[in-house]
Amino acid sequence: MKKLSLIILAALPLLLTACLKDNNNKCCNVYYDPYFIAQKNGVNVYAYPGSAKIGTDSISVFGVSNDAGLRMRFKFNGKGIYALSGNQSKYYQVIGSDTVSRYNLGTAPGSSVEITAYDSINRIIGGKFTLNFKKTFPITSSIYPDSVKFTNGQFVIALPR
């Protein structure tokens, strides 16, 4: 009886490991390093990247830091250039929990986001952007500039599910 128990105990690990499926296609363990960076009026700025689903066909891509936030909304159709205007993109600055300035695109020309990489299986996108903002709040202030320009913007982000 002891020999039979020892044989079963010795064979059990072999049987269990032999039945495990070896998954070599790496479909579910995709590594990506999300980031959001741009030059604001010529100075590099970094933010925590994020995304949100808007309705059934639009997305919001954003970057948020301790003192500011930037958001871009557009109908996502894969790789390509998306021209932005009006309220499709906003920028704001905060001190503590108070918003101290707000900007939107309005009719300023030259604002766009380009999706340069799209992984539809893992729902990851990468892109670059240029945004030209005009101040909407406070109306008159010498502290905050009348316009803010983001150039050389880049991001990699997971799309919302």
Rounded Cα distance between 148 and 121, Å, is 36
pLDDT score of 30: 61
Rounded Cα distance between 76 and 59, Å, is 6
pLDDT score of 107: 80
pTM for this prediction: 0.78
| DSSP state for residue 66 in the 8-state scheme | S
SS3 32: coil
pLDDT score of 132: 95
DSSP class per residue in 108-120: -S--EEEEEEEET
85-144 pLDDT per residue, tens: 999 999 999 999 999 999 999 887 899 999 999 999 999 999 999 999 999 999 877 889
Check whether 14 has a pLDDT greater than 80. Answer: no
Tell me the CB-side half-sphere exposure of residue 47, using CA atoms within 13 A.
29
Query: Which residue is associated with the tokens 């109306």?
Result: 139
Q: What percent of the chain has pLDDT over 90?
A: 70
Rounded Cα distance between 13 and 152, Å, is 55
pLDDT score of 4: 45
pLDDT, mean over the chain: 85
pLDDT score of 141: 76
Reported in sequence order, the residue ranges of 5-137 that DSSP labels E, i.e. its strands, are 35-40, 43-54, 58-64, 68-75, 80-83, 86-95, 98-106, 112-119, 124-137
151 with 25: CB under 8 angstroms?
Answer: no
Domain boundaries, the chain: 31-158
